[in-house]
């Protein structure tokens, strides 16, 4: 057993490492060099995780929406993807990168997913005119939710209680995330589609399981990862890859969505490649979901007074 100051430092480092590992979920590891730094980081993460729990309880998290626009030939009108923001008690608006890693470490992602679904259904019940703005509302599901055997029934009960058309809902599975229980994930996807909701495979093309997912899961949409879209107007390789993805999706009767569309030349190329939908700052930035009604009214008023 280590002796003296060096041994004491090693022991403290080991204790802090065990404490940090105990606070983490999933297949993770970390390398610690200084016990003091490890202790400070662990306390910071613990404080943040407790604040996240309080924020969920006090409903401080807000739904933002980014439009997903139909391109030539696509039917169904404008969709949107829901994005989460944390409006803290001090008034700050935090993006997911500031709190989701801590939430994932604390095993809170399932609770956050349920919060998003519940908040969306409440908002659509209070403001049904939002369904005139968007034909579908895309909700991201975490890996922990995909492994939750109780989630399908919970979603079905909440949808029935809210009297919301399940066809308005689209659940996104991120292709790059780890699915710990493939069998349960397949059951969830099938249950969601039986309910009447649709399911999208997000970040397509970024993982080794891309085409395996298409064989095992019944999807409605294939979302082309932005890494193949950002430089589409300057990369013949990206154009060839996107074209191949569109052909695969067409064979499987899936609609395609391209994300990270930043300019008109990229949008024109996507239209020519017969991509069905596009999403990105060129088409619309995220805004609070409930604000889209007033934003649309303002846009209508502006258009109506423009000279012909």
Q: Record the pTM.
A: 0.84
pLDDT for res 5: 53
Same domain, 89 and 214: yes
Give the span between the Cα atoms of 52 and 153, in whole angstroms.
26
State the pLDDT at residue 28: 54
What residue ranges in the chain does DSSP mark as E strands? 61-70, 79-87, 93-94, 137-141, 169-174, 198-204, 221-224, 255-258, 277-278, 287-288
In a domain, 54, yes or no: no
How far apart are alpha carbons 138 and 117 in whole angstroms?
Answer: 10
Residues 118 and 207 in one domain: yes
Q: Is residue 53 included in any domain, yes or no?
A: no
Residues 176 and 290 in one domain: yes
Task: Give residue-wise pLDDT tens across range 113-136.
Answer: 999 999 999 999 999 999 999 999
Integer-rounded Cα Rg, in Å, for the chain is 22
Residue 260 falls within a domain, yes or no?
yes
Residue 296: CA atoms inside 13 Å, Cβ hemisphere, count? 14
Q: Does residue 71 sit in helix, strand or coil?
A: coil
Q: How does residue 187 score in pLDDT terms, banded at 50, 70 and 90?
A: very high
In a shared domain, residues 31 and 69: no
* Same domain flag for 32 and 123: no
133: CATH:
3.20.20.450
Same domain, 75 and 25: no
What pLDDT sits at residue 304? 39
292 in a domain, yes or no?
yes
The residue range of the domain holding 13 is: 4-48
Q: What is the pLDDT of residues 31-81, one digit of tens each?
A: 655 555 667 777 888 999 999 999 999 999 999 999 999 998 677 789 999
- Count the domains in the chain: 2
- CA distances (Å), origin 157, targets 188, 201, 231, 236: 14, 24, 43, 48
Q: Based on the domain organization, do 37 and 157 belong to the same domain? A: no
Q: Same structural domain for residues 141 and 35?
A: no
Q: Is 219 helix (H, G, I), strand (E, B) or coil?
A: coil
- What integer pLDDT is reported at residue 34 of this predicted model? 59
If you average pLDDT over every residue of the chain, what do you get? 86
Q: Residues 108, 224: one domain?
A: yes
Q: Are residues 193 and 143 located together in one domain of the fold?
A: yes
Question: What gap in Å lies between CA 84 and CA 86, rounded to an integer?
Answer: 7
Same domain, 77 and 142: yes
pLDDT at 299 over 70: no
Distance between CA 180 and CA 114 in Å, rounded? 19
Are residues 44 and 106 both part of a single domain? no
């Amino acid at each position: 057993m280590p002796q003296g100051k060096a041994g004491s430092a090693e022991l403290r480092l080991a204790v802090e490492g065990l404490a940090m590992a105990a606070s983490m979920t999933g297949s993770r590891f970390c390398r610690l060099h200084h016990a003091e730094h490890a202790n400070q980081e662990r306390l910071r993460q613990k404080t943040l995780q407790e604040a996240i729990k309080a924020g969920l309880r006090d409903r401080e998290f807000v739904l933002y929406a980014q439009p997903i626009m139909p391109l030539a030939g696509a039917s169904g009108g404008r969709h949107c993807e829901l994005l989460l923001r944390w409006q803290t008690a001090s008034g700050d608006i935090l993006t997911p990168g500031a709190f989701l890693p801590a939430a994932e470490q604390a095993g809170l992602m399932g609770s956050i997913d349920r919060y998003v679904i519940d908040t969306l259904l409440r908002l659509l019940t209070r403001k049904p005119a939002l369904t005139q703005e968007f034909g579908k509302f895309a909700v991201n599901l975490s890996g922990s939710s995909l492994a939750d055997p109780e989630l399908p029934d919970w979603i079905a009960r909440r949808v029935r209680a809210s009297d919301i058309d399940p066809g308005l809902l689209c659940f996104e599975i991120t292709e790059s995330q780890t699915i710990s229980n493939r069998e349960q994930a397949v059951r969830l996807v099938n249950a969601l589609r039986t309910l009447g909701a649709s399911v999208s495979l997000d970040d397509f093309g970024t993982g080794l399981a891309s085409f395996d997912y298409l064989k095992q899961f019944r999807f409605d949409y294939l979302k082309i990862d932005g890494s193949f879209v950002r430089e589409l107007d300057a990369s013949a390789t990206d154009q060839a890859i996107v074209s191949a993805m569109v052909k695969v999706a067409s064979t499987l009767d899936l609609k395609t969505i391209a994300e990270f569309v930043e300019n008109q030349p990229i949008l024109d190329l996507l239209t020519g490649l017969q991509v069905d939908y596009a999403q990105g700052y060129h088409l619309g930035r995220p805004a609070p979901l409930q604000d889209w009604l007033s934003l649309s009214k303002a846009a209508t008023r502006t258009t109506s007074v423009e000279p012909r």
